[in-house]
A = this chain, B = another copy of it.
Amino acid sequence: MQLDNLVEIKNIEKQAWEALERSIIYYKGLPVGTVAAYDVSVEALNYDQCFIRDFISSALIFLMKGRTDIVRNFLEVTLKLQPKEYQLDAYKPGRGLMPASFKVVSANNQEYLEADFGEHAIARVTPVDCCLWWVILLRAYSVATKDFCLAYRPEFQQGIRLIMELCLATRFDMYPTILVPDGACMIDRRMGIYGHPLEIQVLFYAALRAAHEMLIPQGNEDIIAAIDNRLPLLCGHIRQHYWIDMHRLNAIYRFKGEEYGKTATNLFNIYADSVPYYHLDSWLPKKGGYLVGNVGPSQLDTRFFSLGNLMAIISDLATEEQSQAIMNLIEERWEDLVGDMPMKICFPALENEEYRIVTGCDPKNIPWSYHNSGSWPVLMWMFAAAAMKTNRTHLAQKAFATAQSRLWEDEWPEYYDGKTGRLIGKQARKYQTWTIAGFLLTKELINNPTHLPLISFEELPPELVSRACEFELNNFDSILFG
């Protein structure tokens, strides 16, 4: 079917809105969220729940369209699900954590909410990203409504504070990044993203920025000081140690191993043989670069992860120059990263022995499927936002045009498989809510870029930047370690 007229395009949008409406969950008569998928052809499993991370896309389009009530209700009910006390029982979720999902359960003519913090999830993964997204969404609500009253309410101040305390707590390493187990974010299965994966660090940065805007200084002096301190260090750390382009690849390629002491240049003791330099040498465009997926002891995961890179542009974690370089890379490697469905969750896929060892033989994450380099339409809105922020409107339009008719024809699947995303995901649900919301959101961002400030951040205030953020790559070490 050819979509060659406006009527049909309008029709697709209308149907998307109808599907989104159908997905709304009500609790005690109020709209409080959206179900993950409304696919009547298969058993619901956990797709009848409202996932925090999935709801972000719905929430943003609702905010842009003036449907702020549902977002406020969502923020209020999820805040009540957050554990407020220290838990002595180590099998209970920690203080400050937000659930992965919740659902409305009815019993004895009463409705109540049942939260899942990962204890019912496959493999018991912890949804670390959810508390970070929650803070980001609360700030988006405040920006959209031009009303910080909700955020200033004591219980919301406490909610933000608990999340900050959880994330800023003293831990076992000496980096500004946060340590998480494997599968703690959108990729919620084992995929070699344990340790300090990019996605979590970027969301952490955005949440710190958002919390900083919303916390009332009085009574929060300690937390605000900790945020002020962490922001430039985290920013500097990611911009320095996660960045890769031809210049940096050349440096890594010639790294010496086993350096001991303060003067080491190969801080993480990366062995060049572990980096696929022959692949990167031909893949990296001259003026392109990106943030790598993970950095740890003798570990430099050079896979490209879309969410982390796009949110780094949107949240201003990447420098202006780095943001442009990431967009250059996506444009030059369009076939690999966008192909026939925007866009790849990561690239390239883990294959053969690497797939077996790193995923633990996960049959859902076979090469070029699902998290292992599948294509996720929901990521399109982040691509559009990043494109608008870097003045690449044409790229956002191009991606949207690619997706538009297919998504509707294919009934809004959760994800696509194959090298260029031409196969509907092997186990994809249809009428997946964040696919639908992501589509509507992309269109809205392209047509009304004035909505961008809901999710984007300006440059870090100069008084913070001056500390560590505006550094020359070459003298960074002397700033932080000198």
Contacts from A to B (Cβ < 8 Å): 45-46, 86-97, 117-126, 128, 166, 169-176, 178-184, 189-190, 194-196, 225-226, 229-230, 233-234, 257-262, 264, 267-271, 273-274, 296-300, 352-354, 356-364, 480-481
Contact = CB atoms under 8 A, between A and B. Distances in A.
A170 B86 contact: yes
A166 B120 CA distance: 28
Contacts of A258: 122, 364
A168 to B, nearest CB: 9
Given A194-B195, A274-B361, A298-B189, A124 B268 contact: yes
Contact of A174 (B92, B169, B357): B92
B361 A271 contact: yes
Given A126-B172, A298-B360, 17 more contacts: A90-B174, A90-B230, A91-B174, A91-B176, A94-B174, A120-B262, A123-B269, A172-B181, A179-B179, A182-B297, A189-B269, A258-B364, A271-B361, A274-B356, A298-B359, A300-B360, A354-B357
The 4 closest A-B pairs by CB, nearest first: A94-B170, A123-B269, A298-B360, A123-B297
A248 B22 CA distance: 46
A174 B298 contact: no
13 contacts: A90-B174, A90-B229, A91-B175, A94-B170, A118-B173, A121-B260, A122-B259, A123-B267, A128-B172, A172-B181, A182-B297, A190-B296, A298-B362
A22 B285 CA distance: 58
Contacts of A118: 173-174
A259 B123 CA distance: 8
What's the dominant secondary structure at chain A's contact region?
loop
Contact of A271 (B91, B195, B271, B362): B362
A85 to B, nearest CB: 10
Contact of A257 (B87, B92, B273, B363): B363
Contacts of A176: 90-91
A195 B91 CA distance: 16
Given A123-B298, A260-B121, A363-B271, A90 B181 contact: no
A260 to B, nearest CB: 6
B183 A297 contact: yes
A90 B234 contact: yes
Contacts of A297: 123-125, 181-183, 189-190
A100 to B, nearest CB: 11
Nearest to A95: B170
B273 A361 contact: yes
A363 B354 CA distance: 19
B261 A120 contact: yes
A360 B299 contact: yes
Given A94-B172, A124-B267, A89 B273 contact: no
B229 A97 contact: no
A94 B169 CA distance: 9
Interface centre among A126, A181, A354, A360 (most CB of B within 10 A): A360
Nearest to A230: B90
Question: Counting chain B CB atoms within 10 Å of each CB, which of A88, A90, A118 scores highest?
Answer: A90
Nearest to A45: B260
B91 A480 contact: yes
A125 B119 CA distance: 30
